[in-house]
Structure 1
Amino acid sequence: MLIFKKSLFPVLIAALLSVGCQTVQTTGGGAVGVDRGQMMMIPASDIEQASSQQYQEIISEARSKNLLNRDARQVQRVRQVASRLIPQTGNFRRDAPGWKWEINVLKSDELNAWCMAGGKIAFYSGLIDRLGLSDDEIAAVMGHEIAHALREHARERVSKSMATGLGISVAGALLGVGEVGQDLMGSVAKVTFELPNSRLHETEADRIGVELAARAGYDPRAAVTLWTKMASQSSGAPPQWLSTHPSHDSRQKDLAEYAARVMPIYEQTRRR
């Protein structure tokens, strides 16, 4: 068994950065023009496997507590929205419509939703019930979360964590110290549930999300009304799943601008 001194970790991280880091283009730009290159240190397949394992644990726990897909009508609504959004992911990356998508609703008062790598979606019932979401607004939430998966933001954040020291255990696992699967699952859980998304990631997800909604035939302007509802439930500050740097006003302005940009796509889709 290899044993590394703590003082050697910065050197190891630097070595990983030099040999394991690559710039990738996870998606096409779409009409909204999101085309930033991303620095990655972890293979996409590793993140997808860890996400799938983490997701199944969450779903199994919810099932054991009778909190999984309790309201059949609500589940049908959410899955119907997903069925229209998922085919449109091909406009950003050709492989995405073929992912092993899963969509489940968890019984919880939390205002929460997320999409893990590879298309593992969880919608919390409180988001729909407490905010009285329309289908357009459900599409706004889901489009935003799907955009995070398309852009592989979790993979990018785990890579950044490795580079900055938060993921040293993962780096050690890659070098043969510890269990890769357990460490990577822990890192995926951390970036999904604990660390706030960056301003850049949120802006990218907002912009791609409104385009996905428009292409699926949902009014992209619902993203603005959704944000207003969210803010009203949290005294002007966003809840956990939208906790990030952009201010309420700047985010609404950006959403309104990009919703207007994709309105011709929405109008064309509605005429079909």
Structure 2
Amino acid sequence: MHLIYQPRFIQTVISVLVACCLLVACANTSRPGVVGVERSQFMMISAAQIDRMSAISYEQQAKAAQKKKILITSGPEYERLKTIANRLIPQTAVFRDDTRNWNWGLQLIDSPIVNATCAPGGRITFYSGIINKLNLNQQHH
């Protein structure tokens, strides 16, 4: 019997092809050694797919907060966060070149939750609870 028709050979070929596809699908997303930390990251789905999913989730979060009337889009707290973000955003390129092309966003949600997040693509969400709990004022920016 020919080698090519043996089940073990077919299984091996399929395994090698799957492994190759997985390796090719990986993308390096960060530069190691920028601040003395040697770390690399590989992703199994494309940056474009992650960005789309992040954008959808971020928009849904904003709409839900807007519907509940807890999305803050102006005022001293929002302006303070925007000032801080505008100073920090240019620094991100030290770690990842692609951040220069991100469509950065900033949301402030009026909630006692003590949290802040940055989703893929530079989508930043702050909850007012972190500002209130840490008693942040003008001198902290």
TM-score range, shorter chain: 0.7 to 0.9
**2:95 paired with 1:87:** no
Aligned partner (choices 77, 82, 104) of residue 101 of structure 1: 104
Structure with greater strand share of residues = 2
Which blocks of at least 5 consecutive residues in structure 1 are unaligned?
Answer: 1-13, 139-272
User: Is the 2:73–2:107 Cα contact (8 Å) retained in structure 1?
Assistant: no
Deviations 1:170-221 (A, max 9, x none): xxxxxxxxxxxxxxxxxxxxxxxxxxxxxxxxxxxxxxxxxxxxxxxxxxxx
Distance verdict in 2 for CA 1:63–1:29, change over 3 Å: same
The structure whose Rg is larger is: 2
User: Is the 1:102–1:119 Cα contact (8 Å) retained in structure 2?
Assistant: yes
Q: Which residue does the alignment assign to 1:68?
A: 71
Deviations 1:38-93 (A, max 9, x none): 23211111011000001000000101111001661000000100000111111122
Distance verdict in 2 for CA 1:63–1:17, change over 3 Å: farther
Task: Please list every run of at least 4 consecutive aligned residues from structure 1 whose deviation after the TM superposition is greater than 6 angstroms.
Answer: 135-138
Q: Which residue does the alignment assign to 2:5?
A: none
**CA–CA distance in structure 2, aligned partners of residues 113 and 15 of structure 1:** 41
Q: Measure how far apart 1:17 and its partner are.
A: 5.3
Q: Measure how far apart 1:135 and its partner are.
A: 6.8
Partner amino acid, structure 2, of 1:72: G
Q: Which protein has greater RCO, CA pairs closer than 8 Å, 6+ apart?
A: 1
In the TM superposition, what are the counterparts of 1:190-205 in structure 2 within 5 Å?
none
Partner amino acid, structure 1, of 2:50: I
Partner amino acid, structure 2, of 1:126: G
TM score, norm. by length of structure 1: 0.41
**CA–CA distance in structure 2, aligned partners of residues 31 and 135 of structure 1:** 31
**CA–CA distance in structure 2, aligned partners of residues 101 and 16 of structure 1:** 36
Q: Percent identity?
A: 35
Which blocks of at least 5 consecutive residues in structure 2 are unaligned?
Answer: 1-15
Question: How many residues end up aligned between the 2 structures?
Answer: 126
TM score, norm. by length of structure 2: 0.76
User: Is the 1:47–1:117 Cα contact (8 Å) retained in structure 2?
Assistant: yes
Distance verdict in 2 for CA 1:79–1:70, change over 3 Å: closer
Q: Superposition RMSD on alpha carbons, in Å?
A: 2.7
User: Is the 2:28–2:42 Cα contact (8 Å) retained in structure 1?
Assistant: no
Distance verdict in 2 for CA 1:38–1:31, change over 3 Å: closer
Aligned partner (choices 109, 119, 122) of residue 119 of structure 1: 122
Distance verdict in 2 for CA 1:135–1:24, change over 3 Å: farther
**CA–CA distance in structure 2, aligned partners of residues 113 and 128 of structure 1:** 10
**CA–CA distance in structure 2, aligned partners of residues 30 and 86 of structure 1:** 20
